[in-house]
Amino acid sequence: MKALVTGVAGFIGSHLSHSLLKDGHAVTGVDCFTDYYPRSFKERNLKPLLTAENFHFLERPVQDLDLHSLLQTADVVFHLAAQPGVRASWGREFEIYTMNNILATQKLLDAAVGSKLHRFVYASSSSVYGDTKKLPSSEEDPICPLSPYGVSKLAGEHLARLYHVNYGVPTVSLRYFTVYGPKQRPDMAFHRFLKAVLLDEEIPLFGDGTQTRDFTFVADVISATRAAGETGAPGGVYNIGGGHRVTISEVIETISQISGKRVQLKRYDKVKGDVRHTWADTARARADLRFAPATELRDGLAEEYRWICEVYGV
Ligand SMILES: NC(=O)c1ccc[n+]([C@@H]2O[C@H](COP(=O)([O-])OP(=O)(O)OC[C@H]3O[C@@H](n4cnc5c(N)ncnc54)[C@H](O)[C@@H]3O)[C@@H](O)[C@H]2O)c1
């Protein structure tokens, strides 16, 4: 299989590409090293891929590429490039979200019209649900994002559906629920918590700690994403979540046990755009994608902690 992976230097894109290459597939990876977090993390993610025989890297914004010729030679697109982050998506910054999350997605979908793609997998987000009243959330539930980031990811999902209905592009949208594991972005909670504990700093806690999240280990996300590229229903949308929810206070307690350290907290008010709870109903992904999240939170956190120790040199 020849895959086009956008956002290849990022957290999830680099894991996905590694997994595809390991199984003998060819990967063309695209990334423009946006400055949302330091380039050094992305170079570290990309480095092992660059020496792989079947890997080709293009350092360019998706929207500036000759997408038509790129898509002529691809079997599956995994479109993961995006400006992430709920909290940073307000105000002037929204222009960046519009460009990288909406315009780039529309251009890629448009170039896929008339191609022979087997699947076009779009990385959407649990943030499309907003503060949902019904838990766990299923794909048929009302969606009402609470942040501009969520709006931009939902726009991408709608575009994917439109290009499927009108032009037959075989799109599959995956609503990832908070992904964690080695290489996690430095702005994400587990990365910040584990780093703070390692360096004996205070853990920044937004809200009262009773908010819950459905956390998904990155290897489980990669299995689901690859399966979507093979057997996802064209035009379909799937929740990809660990399947149960945990309070942030419980996470902090587990981190204390894993690291063997006493945790010091620095409390902040809840931030605009943060939802109170997320929890995925994954029945559809279990049925169509044989999705079976296998990693317990404690094991996944321990793996991420080992990586954090490597990165911060302790
Ligand atoms: N990490 C999560 O918990 C999570 C949850 C829900 C959805 N998602 C989605 O999954 C995808 C990957 O997330 P991640 O956590 O790996 O983020 P990431 O920031 O680590 O990776 C995204 C990569 O895309 C690149 N990029 C951004 N805009 C680009 C453009 N226009 N052209 C080329 N490259 C561009 C960035 O430089 C970055 O390396 C994103 O679409 C994100 O919205 C992630």
Average pLDDT of every residue of the chain: 96
CB atoms under 10 Å from CB of 5, counted, come to 29
Percent of the chain whose pLDDT exceeds 70: 100
Gap between the Cα atoms of 295 and 179, Å rounded: 12
Query: Which numeric CATH code is attached to 2-176+217-241+281-293?
Result: 3.40.50.720
The candidate with the shortest Cα–Cα distance to 239, out of 124, 146, 102, is 124
pLDDT in tens, 108-157: 999 999 999 999 999 999 999 998 889 999 999 999 999 999 999 999 99
CB atoms under 10 Å from CB of 46, counted, come to 22
Q: Is the pLDDT of residue 292 over 90?
A: yes
Nearest ligand 1 atom to alpha carbon 34: 37
CB atoms under 10 Å from CB of 203, counted, come to 21
Q: Is the torsion defined by CA of 247, 187, 5, 8 positive or negative?
A: negative
The rounded Å distance from CA 85 to ligand 1 centre is 9
Gap between the Cα atoms of 127 and 285, Å rounded: 18
Q: What per-residue confidence (pLDDT) applies to 129?
A: 96
Q: What per-residue confidence (pLDDT) applies to 279?
A: 94
Ligand 1 proximal residues by C-beta, below 6 Å:
6-7, 9-13, 30-34, 36, 42, 61-63, 80-84, 100, 104, 123, 125, 153, 176, 178-179, 185
Hey, where are the domains in the chain?
Answer: 2-176+217-241+281-293
Q: Is the pLDDT of residue 15 over 90?
A: yes
Gap between the Cα atoms of 41 and 298, Å rounded: 24
Q: Which residues are CB-contacts of 2 (< 8 A; sequence separation ≥ 6)?
A: 25, 26, 27, 28, 73, 74, 75, 76
Angle at which helix 297-311 crosses helix 248-259, to 10 degrees, equals 60
Q: Is the pLDDT of residue 70 over 90?
A: yes
Residue range 217-227: mean pLDDT, rounded:
98
Q: Is the torsion defined by CA of 116, 235, 87, 17 positive or negative?
A: negative
Q: What per-residue confidence (pLDDT) applies to 111?
A: 98
Contact 36/85 with Cβ under 8 angstroms?
Answer: yes
* pTM of full prediction above 0.95: yes
Q: What per-residue confidence (pLDDT) applies to 128?
A: 97
- Enumerate the active-site residues: 149
β-strand pairing of 2-6 with 236-240: unpaired
Residue range 58-74: mean pLDDT, rounded:
96
Q: Is the pLDDT of residue 73 over 90?
A: yes
Q: Is the pLDDT of residue 314 over 80?
A: no
pLDDT in tens, 249-282: 999 999 999 999 989 999 998 887 788 899 999 9
